Chains A and B, each alone.
Chain A
Amino acid sequence: MSIHARTCTQAPTCKRLLVSSMALGTLLASSLVVAAEAPITIVINQSPWFPGFQSVVEKYVEETGNEVELDVNPFAGSLEKQRSAVRTEKSPFDVLIMNAGFFVEFYKGGFMQPLTDIDADFGLSPDIYTFDDSPYWDADKNLISSDSGKLYSVPVNPNIPLLHYRKDLYEENDLSLPTTWDELYANAEVLNDPPRRYGISQRGQREAFGVTYDVLPYIWSHGGAIFADQKGGDFTVTINSPETYAGMQTYLKLANDVGHPSTAGQTQTNVIQNMSTGRAAHILAVLSPGLFDDPNKSAVVKQVDYAAPPATADFPSSPPLGHWLAGVPRNIPEAEQKAALAFLSWFQTDEAQIAYAKAGSAPVSRAVLESDMADEENFRWMKAMAAAIPMAKLTFVIPEASQVLAVTELRFNQAISGELELKEALNMAASEIHQLMIDAGY
């Protein structure tokens, strides 16, 4: 009865490390609990929220005696492993932790088992957010739909960007919480004091799904988009529309006037690091509250507060969903499918969700996010998260997402680095995505 984490920290030549993460005492205690399910392996990425998930898995192992192995990988490495796993005769993984950008590829390819086909009584707890209906897939119509689709996954992390700001500096300078980009710009201008501190630090580096994710709150809240209406089936390319251009101009204005001098080279890690070291007054990033309040890792303990991403006068705050979904592949034995489902059932309980939050990750349960916990200082991010989730939207609902992202990551990065004029970059992206969609039969 133990949990093992196989950590692959060096992509793509993945170094494997088998670590028993349970203390001997826990092992002895849990040895009294008899395992009811077959052992399972979960393939997951190394994200800022991973330690919380690992901690919850340990709790599950301790309580149930069931064995769980975690196969931990970098972002892109996890996706590649999942693809390989579902395409073999038998998947080595029983639970896939799929990212919002790529899960449709797994649904549409027929690789995932509808969870209600494993157990007809299984369902999402009413308290679990459905994140733009992403757990439901209609295989006949090839679309996401909670009305006609079957349940294919359980959300495990509400990874959406939140505005992080320095509340101590806000108090010192008598600033109000920004609700629009203009207000954010004004506040960032006041707090901008380079090189000691930048008004804002933004991710701009090209990755598998990096800069695109971080510019979408700007673009969407100006009425822009990559496609006209993905969920409605309208794939007209609008990445070079005036609205998208306006959103990107706002991003660039912040970057150029009050941002980090190396925005084009900033990764998510750099951005979070800039906040934790006190170099940034604001960041727009996914949640890692445990890090900022850890005196061993942060110079701004208890000084960071959170809010939903800013909006414009015409459009609401629009955070993109970068959430994670746990699905069960078809190509594993029935006993392992049932064991996977047992874990996913347990994960939805209030007890698990509270433990998840206490371990430093954001839960996916409304009951926990809106509970009294949100009034405690350690969980001050909960209100911002609860406010932002209902406004969050799916980034892609097509299996060609990774190819579209290859285009957008490059062109957005070129616009940020100044390698291309913004208009030229967006026009090139539009032309390339248009061709890509035609080739894919849209």
Chain B
Amino acid sequence: MRSTTLWRYLTLSPTLLLFLFLTVLPLASLFVLSVHEVEWRDRIAHWDWVGMANYAHLAKDTLFTAGILNTLIFAVVAVSFQMILGFWLALLTQRVTRGQLVYRTIFLLPILVPGIIIGAIWKLMYSFDFGVVNQLLLYLGMTPQDWLGDSSLALLSVIVVDVWHWTPFCFLLLLAGLQSLPEDIYEASRLDGATGWRELRYITLPLMLPSIIVTFLFRMILAFKVFDEVYLLTGGGPGTSTEVISFTIYRRFFTEDQAGYGAAMSVATFAVIAIAIAAVSRIMGNKDPEAGV
């Protein structure tokens, strides 16, 4: 018995060590950096202990608070739309058998394009003077809008791009989920007289809940890391209207060369996102029929 336990620990230890090395060590190193200020003098980096001063400064940092708030709004709104649209598209196409390859390829095109290129494409489309969106508005007799330069529109404009970019991802995962549902339950429900809406409400949605939760969490995690679209479209502006946290960290850490403060920002963001994801998982997990099984 004892040798079996030992054997288990021995076989597990390489994985544990690798996990520690790849995950815990960088985080610990980031935390250590976050309680220091790094200054270069005579080509040597001087690490000066500042305790929790970097963390204390976070609450007063306009860009950090705006970045956290905008990232939360961005993630919740964008992912919600992506889930609804992705699920709707998956429902529409799940029983289509002809031309599957064609429509799936077309649907999936946006996720195959790198974010930085998508940013460039949409920046042109949103251009006040030359963009196709404003040209269309003019054609319809409407007033052109300053999609990226107006504080009240900029975040919405970035969200639209992200929805366009990532809806196919949700579509793909949810379609796979729908196609794996057992057909006999649907046959039985139809025999009992279930209509389309009742079928969706009482059979499809409950059975799809695990897939929906996984897709939602996946997308939320990715949405919290948004960077490239904002970098190219708005640079975080105008003002702080599209400032997202990964962009703030990048700027503080690299452009401004504040390694200690940037590390504190990263650790704090990690904590906020972990709490947010845990809260969402818990809320959604409570609704999961398989939770606690």
Stretch among A9-17, A149-157, A236-244, A355-363 lining the B interface: A9-17
A109-B255 contact, Cβ under 8 Å, with A13-B116, A264-B237, A265-B238: no
- Judge whether B198 is part of the interface by a CB distance below 8 angstroms: no
Whether B43 pairs with A110 at a CB distance below 8 angstroms is: yes
Number of A-B contacts (CB under 8 A): 112
- Judge whether A330 is part of the interface by a CB distance below 8 angstroms: yes
Q: Which residues does chain A contribute within 8 Å of B231, judged by CB atoms?
A: 11-12
In the complex, the chain B residue whose C-beta lies closest to that of A330 is B43
- Contact residue among A264, A265, A419 (Cβ-Cβ distance under 8 Å from B240): A419
Whether A79 pairs with B255 at a CB distance below 8 angstroms is: yes
A87-B40 contact, Cβ under 8 Å, with A13-B116, A265-B237, A413-B238: yes
- Contact residue among B151, B240, B250 (Cβ-Cβ distance under 8 Å from A12): B250
Whether A406 pairs with B128 at a CB distance below 8 angstroms is: no
Stretch among A25-33, A166-174, A202-210 lining the B interface: A202-210
Question: Chain B binding site: helix, strand, loop or mixed by DSSP?
Answer: loop
Nearest Cβ on chain A to B59's Cβ, whole angstroms: 14
Stretch among B85-93, B141-149, B273-281 lining the A interface: B141-149
Q: In chain A between 390 and 442, which residues have their CB closer than 8 angstroms to a CB of chain B?
A: 402-403, 406, 410, 413-414, 416-420
- Contact residue among B62, B114, B239, B251 (Cβ-Cβ distance under 8 Å from A417): B239
Digit string of A44-76 for contact with B (CB within 8 Å is 1, else 0)? 000000000000000000000000000000001
Nearest Cβ on chain A to B69's Cβ, whole angstroms: 14
Digit string of A233-277 for contact with B (CB within 8 Å is 1, else 0)? 000000000000000000000000000111111110000001001
Nearest Cβ on chain A to B141's Cβ, whole angstroms: 14
Q: Which residues does chain B contribute within 8 Å of A12, judged by CB atoms?
A: 227, 231, 250, 254
Which bracket fits the contact residues of B? Answer: 35 or more
Q: Which residues does chain A contribute within 8 Å of B256, judged by CB atoms?
A: 402-403, 406
- Judge whether B183 is part of the interface by a CB distance below 8 angstroms: no
- Judge whether B258 is part of the interface by a CB distance below 8 angstroms: yes
- Judge whether A111 is part of the interface by a CB distance below 8 angstroms: yes
Q: Which residues does chain B contribute within 8 Å of A109, judged by CB atoms?
A: 40-43
A410-B240 contact, Cβ under 8 Å, with A266-B149, A403-B256: yes
Digit string of B211-245 for contact with A (CB within 8 Å is 1, else 0)? 00000000000000001100100111111110000
Q: How far apart are the CA atoms of A331 and B42 in the complex, in Å? A: 12
Whether A418 pairs with B151 at a CB distance below 8 angstroms is: yes
A419-B239 contact, Cβ under 8 Å, with A12-B231, A109-B41, A406-B256: yes
Whether B235 pairs with A205 at a CB distance below 8 angstroms is: yes
Q: Which residues does chain A contribute within 8 Å of B154, judged by CB atoms?
A: 265
Whether B43 pairs with A410 at a CB distance below 8 angstroms is: no
- Contact residue among A195, A274, A331, A417 (Cβ-Cβ distance under 8 Å from B238): A417
Whether B228 pairs with A403 at a CB distance below 8 angstroms is: no
In the complex, the chain A residue whose C-beta lies closest to that of B248 is A406
In the complex, the chain A residue whose C-beta lies closest to that of B138 is A195
- Judge whether B191 is part of the interface by a CB distance below 8 angstroms: no
Q: Which residues does chain A contribute within 8 Å of B237, judged by CB atoms?
A: 205-206, 264-265, 413, 417
Q: How far apart are the CA atoms of A140 and B129 in the complex, in Å? A: 52
Q: How far apart are the CA atoms of A109 and B39 in the complex, in Å? A: 9
Q: Which residues does chain B contribute within 8 Å of A267, judged by CB atoms?
A: 235
Q: Which residues does chain A contribute within 8 Å of B45, judged by CB atoms?
A: 87
- Judge whether B187 is part of the interface by a CB distance below 8 angstroms: no
Nearest Cβ on chain A to B98's Cβ, whole angstroms: 39
Q: Which residues does chain A contribute within 8 Å of B290, judged by CB atoms?
A: none
A-B pairs, 4 with minimum CB distance: A265-B149, A262-B149, A419-B239, A417-B238
Using a CB–CB cutoff of 8 Å, the interface residues on chain A facing chain B are 10-13, 76, 79-80, 83, 86-87, 105, 109-111, 195, 204-208, 260-267, 274, 277, 279, 330-331, 402-403, 406, 410, 413-414, 416-420
15 further contact pairs, Cβ within 8 A, besides A12-B250, A265-B154, A419-B238 = A105-B257, A205-B235, A206-B237, A261-B146, A262-B128, A262-B150, A264-B151, A265-B150, A265-B234, A402-B255, A403-B258, A406-B63, A413-B237, A417-B149, A417-B238
9 A-B contacts (beta carbon < 8 Å): A11-B231, A261-B128, A265-B150, A265-B234, A265-B237, A267-B235, A403-B258, A413-B238, A417-B241
